[in-house]
Amino acid sequence: MNVLFTSAEVYPFAKVGGLADVVGSLPNALRNIGIDARVIMPGYGFIDHEKYNISLLFSFTFNHTEGSSEVKIYTTIYQGVPIYFVQVWPYFGDDSEVYTDWHWDSPRFIFYNQLVLAAAWELKQRLGWFPQVFHVNDWHTALVPFLIAENRHLREWSTVATVLTIHNLAYQGSDLGGWMWKAGIPERNHPDLIYQNLTDNMLAIGIAYSDIVTTVSSRYAIEIQYPNMGYGLDSMIRTRVADLYGILNGIDVEKWDPAIDPHIVSNYNVENFAEKRIANKHHLQEYVGLPTKEKTPVIGIVSRLVWQKGFDLAIPALRWLLTSYDVQLVVLGTGEAEVENAFVQLANDFSWKAKSLMEYDAAFAQQIYAGCDLFLMPSKFEPCGIGQMMSMRYGSLPVVRETGGLADTVDNYDNGNGERGTGFVFSWEEPQAIFGTLEWAIQTYENRPEAWQRMQRNAMSGDFSWTQSAHRYEDLYKRIADKRGG
């Protein structure tokens, strides 16, 4: 089974959000179970060719509506997965960022979708390798299923199957009809697109034309069928409900392992964390300039600081908490200026117990996971989420809202002596709910140490690997490939 992933982001080459982590990990898991999974992505100018041993594979001429372009395909092997990088002037090669603005990203990602098909054909001609399944991700690559459908009259494309994974329905690539017309994209005559006036929406086009649509958690697959989380595409999603699957993301458990993580000062596992993990807490406190207090609970945040993550609601709750309790707060992330400024102000107002670092530092993120006691993730919606899995893997108990992948992965504390619980869960989108749940967690930390350690043990023992999810994708690939005759 040959599967070609395509995405705007792929870890470690280009990362903005969780999309990069998924496409950077899932193909490797698929190869481990016998699927020849490969990845094609834009060859952004900031990617370090020397660092990742990237070399030129071949060049070809791509003819399009505005002339012809010389396309260069570079390649490397990362964790056993062949990665192909597409460079073409002016869109990919000199760029310094993954995403820019609507006026630039619209034409370049439309063009990239066309290039994916052309590059795949060149791989067939030059290497003898051709995908049976194209696995596309989010709006940036959602035209690929449509373009394949337009080529099904050709024998070579007639059996190719397509899967679209929606990582975040809020980002859709909408109102791009003019750009698509300029790029020579054929009319989208699908009746559901026409009826719902979505022929200019790239994600909607992908939903309409893909053989299978997946989301990154079971709960999110249900939530996006309703208006409050459908962002105008809920009715479109409901037309595909028979082909809609929620498959939970995983993490690279071999890489993200507190027993061997080189970025933390004291390695530990589920058997010895009670004795060894505390050194990481002390190091975290010292590193950010907080008093070294073993008994004071530390709340960690590692996140994009945006409205989706619920921080506009969390900041008032944290302010109340810092006023009322002996707690510490460490925040790491970047995002919307208003949210960043609010966290900076919070750290200034409570400088002896709160620190905010407005940056992205992967190594320091690991120190937070390993050193904090609680990990706050109060998202308004969360298709899957990786932060809560990382925190549980490292023995930090998550405080999350009951939504999307957070609901699917965090088992709420049973508030007693039973065996349940890997974190603390609330439902309502309001500061009081966040404050009350943090208060409950802190009181548990202070008064129920045995229950706390039991939850840590439960959390660290969870299966966050890609293995189960990879087998589910394997089943889907085989089913649709067989259906297409590939």
Exposed, middle or buried by CB within 10 Å (0-12, 13-18, 19+), for 329?
buried
Longest dimension (CA), the chain: 71
Of 82, 57, 83, nearest to 72 by C-alpha is 57
- Residues 218 and 352 reside in one and the same domain: no
In what order do the strands lie in the sheet containing 328-332?
354-357, 328-332, 298-302, 374-377, 397-401, 424-426
The total number of structural domains that make up the chain = 2
Instruction: Give the pLDDT confidence score for residue 159 in this predicted structure.
Output: 95
Give how far the C-alpha of residue 291 lies from the chain's centroid of Cα atoms, to the nearest Å. Answer: 34
Based on the domain organization, do 58 and 138 belong to the same domain?
yes
Which residue has better confidence, 347 or 94? 347
- In whole angstroms, how large is the CA radius of gyration of the chain? 23
The yes-or-no verdict on residue 417 having pLDDT over 80 is no
Coil, strand or helix: which one is 19? helix
Helix/strand/coil for 1: coil
Residue 258 lies in a domain: no
Tens digit of each residue's pLDDT (9 = 90 or more) over 239-248: 999 999 999 9
Looking at the structure, tell me whether residues 288 and 217 fall in a common domain: no
- For 280, what's the count of Cα atoms within 13 Å in the CB-facing half-sphere? 30
Would you tell me how many other CB atoms lie within 10 Å of the CB of residue 427? 11
Q: Residue 417's domain is classified under what CATH number?
A: 3.40.50.2000
Helix (H/G/I), strand (E/B), else coil: 452: helix
* Any domain includes 192: yes
Same domain? 237 vs 280: no
The size of the chain, in residues, is: 486
Q: For residue 99, what are the CA distances in angstroms to 11, 102, 103, 104?
A: 15, 9, 11, 9
Task: Round to whole Å and give the CA distance between 451 and 412.
Answer: 13
Q: For the segment 446-484, what is each residue's pLDDT rounded down to a tens digit?
A: 999 999 999 999 999 999 999 999 999 999 999 999 988
Backbone angles phi, psi at 478, to 5 degrees: -65, -40
CA distance 156 to 151: 9
Percent over 90 (pLDDT), the chain: 93
Measured between alpha carbons, how far is 18 from 10 in angstroms, rounded to an integer?
A: 9
C-beta neighbour count of 481 within 10 angstroms: 20
pTM beyond 0.85: the answer is yes
The long-range contacts involving 438-442, CB below 8 angstroms and separated by at least 24 positions, are 438/299, 438/317, 438/318, 438/321, 438/374, 438/376, 438/399, 439/321, 439/324, 439/325, 440/415, 441/297, 441/374, 441/397, 441/399, 441/413, 442/297, 442/321, 442/325, 442/327, 442/374
pLDDT average, residue stretch 85-112: 94
Residue-level pLDDT at 181? 96
- Per-residue pLDDT reduced to its tens digit, 265-299: 999 999 999 999 999 999 999 999 999 999 999 99
Instruction: Identify whether 36 is part of a domain.
Output: yes
**Cα–Cα distance for residue pair 299/331, rounded to 1 Å:** 8
Phi, psi of 134 (to 5 degrees): -100, 125
Q: Is the pLDDT confidence value at 42 over 90?
A: yes
Q: 96 and 29 in one domain?
A: yes
Does residue 10 form part of some domain? Answer: yes
| 321 shares a domain with 183 | no
Residues 101 and 179 grouped into a single domain: yes
Tell whether omega for the bond before 297 is within 30 degrees of 0, i.e. cis.
Answer: no
First-to-last alpha carbon distance for the chain, in angstroms, is 9
Band of the pLDDT at 16, cuts 50, 70, 90?
Answer: confident
* DSSP letter assigned to residue 308: G
Find the mean pLDDT for residues 193-207.
97
Give the pLDDT of residue 485: 81
Range 150-156, long-range pairs (CB < 8 A, 24+ positions): 150/186, 151/117, 156/121, 156/124, 156/130
Q: Dig out the tokens for 225 from the structure.
A: 């069928």
Interval 21-36 mean pLDDT: 96
Distance CA 355, CA 343 (A): 9
Same domain, 366 and 284: yes
The beta strands (E) that lie in 117-182 are given as 133-137, 161-166
Q: What is the pLDDT of residue 418?
A: 59
If asked whether residues 282 and 246 sit together in one domain, one would say: no
C-alpha span between 368 and 331 (Å, rounded): 9
Say which DSSP state 300 is in.
Answer: E
State yes or no: pLDDT of 223 exceeds 70.
yes
Flag whether 450 is in a domain: yes
Condensed to tens digits (0 to 9), the pLDDT of residues 129-154 reads 999 999 999 999 999 999 999 999 99
pLDDT score, position 360: 83
Domain-located, residue 22 = yes
Does a structural domain hold residue 74?
Answer: yes
Tell me which residue range forms the domain holding 278.
273-460
Say whether both 455 and 470 belong to one domain: no
Evaluate if residue 368 carries a pLDDT over 80.
yes
In DSSP terms, 70 is beta-bridged to 61
Residues 156 and 304 grouped into a single domain: no
Strand partners, 232: none
Task: Say if residue 424 is in the same domain as residue 478.
Answer: no
Residue 254 confidence (pLDDT): 85
Residue appearing with tokens 């392992």: 257
Structural domain contains residue 351 = yes
d(CA 257, CA 394): 7
**pLDDT for res 224:** 97
pLDDT confidence of 252, banded at 50, 70, 90?
Answer: confident
Q: For 352-370, b where at least 16 C-beta lie within 10 A, e where not — what string?
A: ebbbbbbeeeeebbbbbbb
Among 392, 222, 379, 249, residue whose Cα is nearest residue 314: 379
pLDDT over 80 at 419, yes or no: no
**Which amino acid type is present at position 44?**
Y
